[in-house]
Amino acid sequence: MDGNRIQIEEIRNRIDIVNEISKYVQLKPAGKNFSGLCPFHNEKTPSFIVSPELQRYKCFGCGESGDIFTFIQNIENIDFPETLDKLAKEAGIILKKPKINTHLAKLYEINTLAARYFYKQLKKDKKALEYMKSRGFNDDSIFKFGVGYASGGYQLLDFLQKGSTKFNKKELLDSGLFTLKNDKLRSKFFKRIMFPIRSSSGKVLGFSGRILPEYDKGPKYMNTPGTPIFHKKENIFGQYESRKAIRKEDLVILCEGQTDVISAHQHGIENIVAPLGTALTIEQLTNLSKLTKNFLFLFDSDSAGQTAMQRAFKLISELNLQAYAASPEPFADIDEMLLENPKLLKTLIKKKTNLFSFLFSKKVENLDSRDYTDIATTLKWTKKLLSEVKLPSLRSSYVEELLNRNYFDSENIEGIRRDLLGTNTQYIQTQTKEKQKKSTNISRQEKLLCAILIPEEISIPKNFKLKYFTDSDVKKVLNHIKKEKEVTREQLLKGDFKEYVENAIFNFSQIDDKEEIDTLYNLIKKDYYITKEKELKSKIAIAETQGDTKKSIKLLQQFLKLTKENTNE
């Protein structure tokens, strides 16, 4: 084990996770665990559990989980080195200085210095400052986002080389701020308003530059190219400035442009970010999902905006996140809407609809539901869109919502439902609510019994027959314990059953009554026989209805054998 790992373990041993999390969350005892309101999403009923045994936490509402290091990273929105430094100080441990990648450190320094330089230049340049004021941006917003101005030429290079730190040609080129022409470095950005792109911890990674309206050379927006510290597909504008509001509101709003983000912040809507002028990526959504599972897409009202919405739906469906949508119509974008009607944004957020419904409404708004060609086009489009939804229950709910809109002829509803869901999907096989509830109760009984059987030293009573257990996770754990004979809880926590055992301890460790083992086992056994008898009765009835005497007799023999077995138990 290397020195750094040893120090991490030392910090973990010195700082109790319950005490540390109690600084941020009001925790109350819940058996062996502690519970409270999750700090990572809004909730009224506590679903956030902290286990002193595991020195870990888990929220059963939003899914956030981890150890003390993960918690501090997420709650403070800082990276691991910063977390390590903070907890080391609390634990009274002096960290051994890790080897610093000096090249990357220089790149961060160049970008930080450039951001300061651009900010000062904006204040000095009359035209650039007038442009920002004409867009409605005040001094506080300009300062908050560090907006600046790049005049181009050699001024930035001269500024950087005048400082105490001297940067070589490779460092300056790798920063993404310069290009090489005739073997001379010159600024990449010319006559542009500069928007710093910060990491989630606030480090300046690069810039997005908007050309001033009176100049028409180059694209409207230009981003820092990919560099050793900046990867466009992983970052998003406003991720640092908006992080706290996203957590507080348990919702992130995605718009198209940097000016949209700044305008929204200026009007009190701070849980908003924007992709960096390119198509949304799975990496960007994954990073944002650490802050919230709820996404509201509010892209521009043009056709490109609607296409971006469809791509967002595909990516959101892959991640099984909750997606909503709204449109700035009749305005082109959020920035324009806030200049004309500032109150409308809050109304749109309140009236948001789910993304699937939004996309469907946009698709059919100019189509005739009585025209066969339009109906066929709509169904083909809908089927393709729904094919992106991998979660069966979510796809099913979308279909039912769609069919309740009365867009399609009621006589064809069942055929349309089958066409959209497909014949082999698991959600076509419907179950009654009573059966679902009973199945859930049986599973809970089995999980509870399994949790009681996982103390420090694990053993399964000799009279236990594992055939009575129907929950697949429980069965796997118990089979493993029985097969290995001598198994400790620590071994299970380090092996393939880590997640299941953790969940069992989080959910059921408040029950520590060994006398309940026999009671629970008998209930599980009773449910097993009741379920098996019902299944055989049903099969016998079907065989008799079909006139299959041979099969009926065979099933009846199985039923009598099962009944006898139950009586003798």
Instruction: Looking at the structure, tell me whether residues 461 and 562 fall in a common domain.
Output: yes
Quickly state the pLDDT bin for 145 (edges 50, 70, 90): very high
Domain end marker among 312, 330, 361: 361
Mean pLDDT of 272-289: 88
Distances (CA, A) of 388 to 19, 75, 436: 44, 32, 27
Closest CA to 199 of 302, 107, 333: 107
31-40, 280-289, 437-446, 535-544: which range is least confident on average?
437-446
Instruction: Looking at the structure, tell me whether residues 412 and 443 fall in a common domain.
Output: no
Strands of the sheet with 48-51, listed across from one edge: 28-30, 33-36, 48-51, 56-59, 65-66
Q: What pLDDT does residue 430 have?
A: 42
CA distance 569 to 565: 6
CA distance 476 to 466: 10
Domain end marker among 177, 202, 230: 230
Instruction: Looking at the structure, tell me whether residues 461 and 555 fall in a common domain.
Output: yes
Q: Please write the tens of the pLDDT for every residue from 356-378.
A: 888 888 887 777 766 767 777 77
Instruction: Looking at the structure, tell me whether residues 555 and 477 fall in a common domain.
Output: yes
CA distance 157 to 174: 14
CA distance 118 to 193: 9
- For residue 488, pLDDT beyond 90: no
Q: What pLDDT does residue 21 have?
A: 94
Q: Is residue 98 part of a domain?
A: no
Q: Is residue 237 part of a domain?
A: no
Q: What pLDDT does residue 547 have?
A: 61
Characterize the bridge pairing of strands 148-150 and 65-66. Answer: unpaired
Q: Please write the tens of the pLDDT for every residue from 518-549.
A: 777 778 888 888 888 877 776 776 665 556 67
Q: Is residue 145 part of a domain?
A: yes
Residues 6+ apart with CB under 8 A from 293: 41, 62, 63, 250, 321, 322
- For residue 380, pLDDT beyond 60: yes
Task: Establish how many alpha carbons lie within 13 A of residue 559's alpha carbon, considering only the half-sphere containing its beta carbon.
Answer: 17
- For residue 101, pLDDT beyond 90: no
Q: What is the CATH number of the domain that holds 151?
A: 3.90.980.10
Instruction: Looking at the structure, tell me whether residues 75 and 140 fall in a common domain.
Output: no
Mean pLDDT of 42-48: 83
Quickly state the pLDDT bin for 427 (edges 50, 70, 90): very low
Quote the mean pLDDT of the chain: 81
- For residue 424, pLDDT beyond 50: no
Mean pLDDT of 250-261: 91
- For residue 485, pLDDT beyond 80: no
Q: What is the CATH number of the domain that holds 14?
A: 3.90.580.10
Q: Please write the tens of the pLDDT for every residue from 6-39.
A: 788 888 888 999 999 999 999 988 877 888 999 8
Q: Is residue 238 part of a domain?
A: no
Instruction: Looking at the structure, tell me whether residues 307 and 389 fall in a common domain.
Output: no
Q: What pLDDT does residue 423 have?
A: 44
Task: Establish how many alpha carbons lie within 13 A of residue 150's alpha carbon, considering only the half-sphere containing its beta carbon.
Answer: 26
Per the structure, the complete domain to which residue 7 belongs is given by 3-91
Instruction: Looking at the structure, tell me whether residues 303 and 214 fall in a common domain.
Output: no
Q: What pLDDT does residue 408 have?
A: 66
For residues 193 and 70, the answer to whether their CB atoms sit within 8 Å is no
Quickly state the pLDDT bin for 447 (edges 50, 70, 90): low
Burial 164-189 (b: 16+ CB within 10 A, else e): eeebeeebbbbbbbbeeeeeebebbb
Q: What pLDDT does residue 432 have?
A: 36
